[in-house]
């Protein structure tokens, strides 16, 4: 009976356990085991790595959040100061490039942002310690120029006259008085006809040369200062303004726009009180104020405003009234 059983076992191929078969089974077992271990360990390792990464990220996010909220608070606290600084940096950058001080006198916001203190400019911008005010009169001579000169003399104040070419006999004296009494003689085109002088660079050059020679003949002085009719930012010129500014530059002529307007431009019937307050209010937020006024037959209120205006400006702290010179900070409108 026992023998039979043994024989049966030997005959059954499924039960036969040859060494090769055993090895194969062992190998399989090992492979399965490795696979199981791998399947367990790999996700675990991944989880650990991801966990560490997540922890670090969270930490970084936390730090960043803290920094952001700190910055937000700081920003909020100094919002005004920041706005002011940005505006000042812009202005000082423009000054550094010698191109522009924002001269839109109608923009209250920008006016308010202009500097009152002297510690905010870049180091290479030389600003006066106090305030400098430049009274400038366009379009003369006129029937009122003599009166304006008398008032200025009375207050011992020097101004700048941007004149046009007028051949009338009575004005010959006026041109000379401007120079002899220590004011700056500036040019404002011979004809003051926009359609002519801005039609081409040649026209502009001709007009300029005519005026410059005319003034030299009248006064013995070659003027080196120019104010464009309508300003360098005028929108009527058919010629690129930069062609004209380049030309002036080549001749060593400095052009000046304005950053304060008296508001006495043609067509506006403005009272002398209004002129004084326009100028004084604006000047309060400028370290350098180039003040646009007009010397023309219909500008009686400008003449009437002048004494009070000078008095009010002289009352302002550390403020001087000066004629424009080559040392004056260029106040020029942007070309765009």
Does 295 help bind Zn ion (rule: CB under 5 A)? Answer: no
C-beta of 261: minimal distance to Zn ion in Å?
Answer: 12
Structure tokens that stand for 263 in this block:
């508001």
How would you classify the pairing of strands 131-138 and 288-294? parallel
Query: Which residues have a Cβ under 8 Å from the Cβ of 148 and sit 6 or more positions away?
Result: 137, 140, 159, 295, 302, 303, 306
Whether residue 268 has a cis bond before it, omega within 30° of 0: no
In the range 127-156, which residues lie near Zn ion by CB under 5 A?
138-139
Does 229 help bind Zn ion (rule: CB under 5 A)? Answer: yes
Site string for Zn ion, 31-70 (x = CB under 5 A): ----------------------------------------
Structure tokens that stand for 103 in this block:
């001269």
Number of residues that bind Zn ion (CB under 5 A): 3
Q: How far apart are CA 160 and CA 135, in angstroms?
A: 6
C-beta of 136: minimal distance to Zn ion in Å?
Answer: 11
103 versus 113: smaller Cβ distance to Zn ion: 103
C-beta of 254: minimal distance to Zn ion in Å?
Answer: 18
Nearest to 162 by CA among 135, 198, 136, 191: 136
Nearest to 91 by CA among 73, 110, 71, 63: 110
189 versus 319: smaller Cβ distance to Zn ion: 189
Kindly indicate which of the ranges 100-108, 228-236, 249-257, 259-267 contains the residues binding Zn ion, using the contact rule CB under 5 A.
228-236
Adjacent-strand bridge partners of 160: 136, 184
139 versus 264: smaller Cβ distance to Zn ion: 139
Q: How far apart are CA 148 and CA 159, in angstroms?
A: 10
C-beta of 223: minimal distance to Zn ion in Å?
Answer: 15
284 phi, psi to nearest 5 deg: -60, -30
Structure tokens that stand for 160 in this block:
């700048």
In the range 152-191, which residues lie near Zn ion by CB under 5 A?
none
Does 257 help bind Zn ion (rule: CB under 5 A)? Answer: no
C-beta of 306: minimal distance to Zn ion in Å?
Answer: 18
84 versus 188: smaller Cβ distance to Zn ion: 188
Q: Which residues bind Zn ion (CB under 5 A)?
A: 138-139, 229
């Amino acid at each position: 009976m026992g023998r039979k059983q043994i024989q049966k076992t030997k005959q059954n191929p499924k039960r036969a356990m040859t060494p090769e078969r055993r090895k194969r089974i062992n190998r399989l077992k090992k492979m399965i085991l490795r696979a199981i271990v791998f399947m367990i360990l790999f996700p675990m390792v991944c989880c650990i790595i991801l966990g560490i990464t997540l922890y670090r990220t969270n930490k970084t996010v936390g730090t960043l959040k803290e920094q952001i909220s700190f910055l937000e608070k700081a920003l909020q606290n100094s919002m005004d100061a920041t706005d002011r600084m940005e505006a000042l940096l812009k202005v000082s950058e423009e000054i550094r490039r010698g191109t522009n001080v924002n001269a839109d006198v109608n923009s209250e916001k920008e006016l308010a942002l202009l500097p009152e203190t002297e510690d905010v400019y870049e180091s290479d911008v030389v600003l006066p310690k106090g305030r400098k005010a430049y009274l400038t009169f366009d379009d003369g001579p006129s029937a009122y120029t003599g009166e304006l000169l008398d008032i200025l003399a009375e207050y011992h104040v020097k101004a700048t006259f941007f004149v046009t070419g007028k051949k009338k006999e009575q004005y010959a004296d006026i041109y000379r008085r401007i120079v002899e009494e220590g004011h700056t003689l500036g040019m404002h085109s011979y004809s003051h006809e926009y359609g002519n002088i801005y039609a081409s660079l040649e026209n502009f050059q001709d007009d300029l040369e005519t005026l410059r020679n005319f003034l030299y003949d009248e006064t013995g002085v070659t003027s080196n200062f120019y104010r464009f009719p309508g300003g360098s930012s005028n929108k009527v010129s058919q010629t690129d303004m930069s062609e004209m500014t380049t030309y002036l530059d080549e001749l060593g002529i400095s052009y000046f726009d304005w950053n304060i307007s008296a508001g006495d431009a043609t067509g506006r019937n403005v009272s002398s009180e209004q002129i004084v307050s326009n100028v004084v209010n604006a000047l309060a937020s400028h370290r350098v104020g180039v003040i646009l006024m007009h010397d023309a037959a219909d500008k009686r209120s400008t003449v009437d405003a002048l004494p009070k205006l000078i008095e009010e400006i002289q009352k302002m702290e550390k403020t001087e009234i000066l004629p424009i010179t080559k040392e004056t900070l260029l106040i020029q409108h942007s070309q765009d």
